[in-house]
């Protein structure tokens, strides 16, 4: 059987209502519907230091017909945001356990930070995550990236061109010893991204429905899965990531 190589449009950085800073209507069901309306083929729901809405999201993605990568946006000890993409929910949950063990153990203050809502596939509230997800883990950047790889995941430095919680804002440079798989940019690709010799991707970092798909990356792949995505980031066999 011949392979069907084609371009897949992806937004790999979307927050759900579990993230304290995201709007409450960012439920998995509404996110996926909005992503389909925006003609996206692949999405990743990545909440801050948690993935408790992925169970609902993974179930819905299969039914609604979109490829969804289990993900998290994890804060390193240096407060660098790292987007972690996984192959399976099980891998994401394994990483979540490691992240939870390294969070400061403080309670969320919903009035100050916002609610952290866990929902099911029908937009029903299952509960509220009481951990302070807005904090940082105890893992320095290199150990965090290695831990993500240990669960078979991809580690992408989030919004490197932003002035907060990025590897550039926190460290001032992209450390050569940290094995990122790609660098996420919000705007034009800066020279230091090209010099790093890593693939650049662009995603929305949506915290509200209307931003989903507003920034995206097109991937030339043989299929919508993590392994193909990893190959595209390494430009293997003609696969590639393209940001317009
Ligand atoms: Zn971030
Ligand atoms: Zn984010």
Which structural domain, as residue segments, surrounds residue 161?
7-242
170 domain residue, yes or no:
yes
Ligand 2 centre distance from Cα of residue 219 (Å):
21
Ligand 2 centre distance from Cα of residue 43 (Å):
13
Mean pLDDT of 213-217: 98
13 domain residue, yes or no:
yes
Residue 215 binned pLDDT confidence (cut-offs 50, 70, 90): very high
Q: Could you read off the pLDDT of 166-183 as tens digits, one per residue?
A: 999 999 999 989 999 999
Ligand 1 centre distance from Cα of residue 29 (Å):
22
108 domain residue, yes or no:
yes
Q: How many domains does the chain have?
A: 1
83 domain residue, yes or no:
yes
Query: How far is the C-alpha of 101 from the C-alpha of 131, rounded, in Å?
Result: 11
51 domain residue, yes or no:
yes
1 domain residue, yes or no:
no
Query: How far is the C-alpha of 168 from the C-alpha of 152, rounded, in Å?
Result: 25
168 domain residue, yes or no:
yes
2 domain residue, yes or no:
no
Residue 163 pLDDT more than 90? yes
Q: Could you read off the pLDDT of 29-68 as tens digits, one per residue?
A: 999 999 999 999 999 999 999 999 999 999 999 999 999 9
| Average pLDDT for the chain | 96
Ligand 1 centre distance from Cα of residue 137 (Å):
14
**pTM, whole model, 2 decimals?**
0.96
Residue 244 pLDDT more than 90? no
Mean pLDDT of 66-79: 98
Q: What is the CATH number of the domain that holds 208?
A: 3.20.20.140
């Amino acid at each position: 059987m011949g392979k069907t190589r084609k371009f897949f449009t992806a937004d790999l950085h979307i927050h759900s209502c579990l993230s304290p800073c995201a709007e409450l209507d960012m439920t998995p069901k509404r996110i996926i519907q909005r992503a389909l309306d925006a003609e996206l083929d692949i999405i990743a729901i990545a909440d801050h230091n948690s993935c408790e809405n992925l169970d609902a999201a993974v179930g819905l993605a299969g039914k609604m017909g979109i490829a969804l990568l289990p993900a998290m946006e994890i804060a390193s000890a240096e407060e660098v945001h790292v987007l972690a993409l996984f192959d399976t929910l099980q891998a994401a949950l394994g990483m979540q356990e490691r992240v939870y063990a390294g969070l400061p153990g403080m309670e969320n203050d919903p009035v100050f930070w916002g609610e952290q809502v866990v929902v099911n596939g029908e937009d029903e509230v299952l509960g509220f995550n009481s951990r302070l997800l807005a904090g940082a883990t105890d893992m320095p950047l290199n150990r965090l990236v290695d831990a993500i790889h240990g669960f078979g995941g991809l580690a992408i430095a989030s919004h490197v061109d932003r002035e907060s919680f990025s590897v550039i804002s926190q460290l001032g440079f992209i450390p050569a010893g940290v094995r990122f798989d790609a660098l996420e940019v919000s705007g034009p690709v800066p020279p230091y991204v090209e010099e790093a010799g890593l693939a650049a991707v662009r995603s929305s970092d949506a915290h509200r429905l209307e931003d989903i798909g507003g920034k995206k990356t097109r991937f030339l792949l043989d299929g919508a899965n993590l392994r193909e995505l990893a190959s595209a980031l390494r430009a293997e066999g003609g696969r590639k990531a393209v940001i317009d």
